[in-house]
């Protein structure tokens, strides 16, 4: 029993100062600096590095350039890639431009048909005359096109113009290679009628217009980069790619 009391007094006595450190000794759970706390961080983030990596011994390191051989190899690789990609890029531009022109013509046809149904009047898409006030049935689509209403209140041959399109570039053509139609009109029922200098075409025929491009700059229109615009007598229209050999440019 005395041994237990002696051990209890020794372990519960006031803490003693450490001889070596000059600090009061305490149990492990009572350390002044817990293990989860550190005065200075063990690691530093990358952004707190004092000296940049480009410095060495207090001076900037010399930057190594490229040699003439390396530059020539790089230029050769770029030349090969450019020679391979340039024709494909040009072909893509041609297809995009031709498709855009075909979609414009299709939009004019759909606009004319919707206006004819809305106004209950004949609306016409045709080759314009010099004043762009009416149709020139003996002309060509290279001079542009207009969309207008055949208003009985106006003079014969004069349209109430709703839309004007500029001519295509010299490298592109818009034409009807089969019947040479220069006018497409829609009545109040949405039915289509085609007309040229020779008069009004038969009502049961589908008109085929083509937009072609001179791909090789040799004054020959290439049907491979062309588009067909087919217009049925019922007034429906669509774009087909490319131009069929039976139709041509």
pLDDT of residue 8: 56
Q: Does some domain include residue 1? A: no
Question: Whole-structure pTM over 0.75, yes or no?
Answer: no
Q: What is the CATH number of the domain that holds 230?
A: 3.55.40.10
**Residue 49 pLDDT class (50, 70, 90 cuts):** very low
Query: What integer is the mean pLDDT of 29-46?
Result: 51
Rg of the chain (C-alpha set): 43
Distances (CA, A) of 62 to 54, 65, 243: 9, 9, 62
Does position 48 have pLDDT exceeding 50, yes or no?
Answer: no
For 54-94, the pLDDT digits (tens) are 554 555 555 567 788 888 998 888 888 877 766 777 777 77
With beta carbons less than 8 A apart as the criterion, state whether 124 and 108 touch.
no
Q: Does some domain include residue 24? A: no
Instruction: Give the Cα separation of 128 and 146 in Å (integer).
Output: 6
User: Total structural domains in the chain?
Assistant: 1
Listed range (40-49, 184-193, 203-212) with the worst mean pLDDT: 40-49
pLDDT of residue 41: 53
Q: Does some domain include residue 137? A: yes
Does position 222 have pLDDT exceeding 80, yes or no?
Answer: no
Q: Does some domain include residue 120? A: yes
Determine how many CB atoms are found less than 10 A away from the CB of residue 167.
Answer: 14
Tally the C-alpha atoms within 13 A of residue 179's C-alpha that lie toward its C-beta: 21
Q: What is the dihedral of CA 130, 132, 138, 144, to 10 degrees?
A: 100
Q: Does some domain include residue 109? A: yes
With beta carbons less than 8 A apart as the criterion, state whether 163 and 150 touch.
no
Query: What integer is the mean pLDDT of 21-29?
Result: 49
Q: Does some domain include residue 72? A: no
Q: 133-161: b or e for each residue (b if 16 or more CB lie within 10 Å)?
A: bbbbbebebebbbbbbbbeeeeeeebbee
Contacting residues for 179 by C-beta, under 8 A, at least 6 apart: 194, 196, 201, 205, 207
pLDDT of residue 60: 52
The residue range of the domain holding 127 is 89-240
My answer on whether omega of the bond before 81 falls inside 30° of 0, hence cis, is no
Q: Does some domain include residue 235? A: yes
**Residue 147 pLDDT class (50, 70, 90 cuts):** very high
Q: Does some domain include residue 165? A: yes
């Amino acid at each position: 029993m005395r041994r237990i009391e002696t051990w209890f007094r020794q372990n519960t006595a006031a803490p003693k100062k450490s001889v070596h450190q000059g600090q009061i000794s305490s149990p492990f759970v009572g350390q002044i600096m817990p293990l989860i706390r550190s005065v200075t961080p063990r690691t530093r983030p990358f952004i707190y590095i004092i000296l940049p990596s480009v410095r060495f011994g207090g001076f900037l390191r010399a930057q190594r350039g490229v040699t003439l051989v390396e530059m020539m190899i790089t230029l050769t690789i770029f030349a090969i890639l450019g020679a391979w990609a340039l024709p494909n890029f040009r072909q893509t531009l041609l297809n995009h431009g031709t498709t855009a022109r075909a979609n414009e013509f299709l939009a004019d046809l759909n606009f004319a048909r919707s206006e004819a149904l809305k106004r209950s009047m004949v609306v016409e898409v045709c080759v314009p005359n010099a004043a762009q006030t009416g149709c020139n049935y003996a002309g060509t689509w290279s001079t542009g096109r207009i969309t207008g209403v055949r208003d009985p209140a106006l003079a014969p041959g004069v349209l109430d113009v709703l839309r004007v399109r500029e001519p295509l570039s010299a490298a592109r053509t818009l034409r009807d290679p089969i019947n040479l139609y220069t006018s497409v009109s829609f009545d109040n029922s949405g039915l289509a009628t085609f007309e040229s200098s020779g008069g009004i075409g038969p009502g049961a025929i589908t008109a085929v217009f083509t937009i072609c491009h001179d791909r090789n700059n040799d004054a020959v229109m290439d049907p491979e980069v062309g588009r067909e615009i087919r217009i049925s007598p019922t007034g429906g229209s669509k774009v087909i790619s490319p131009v069929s050999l039976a139709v041509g440019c």
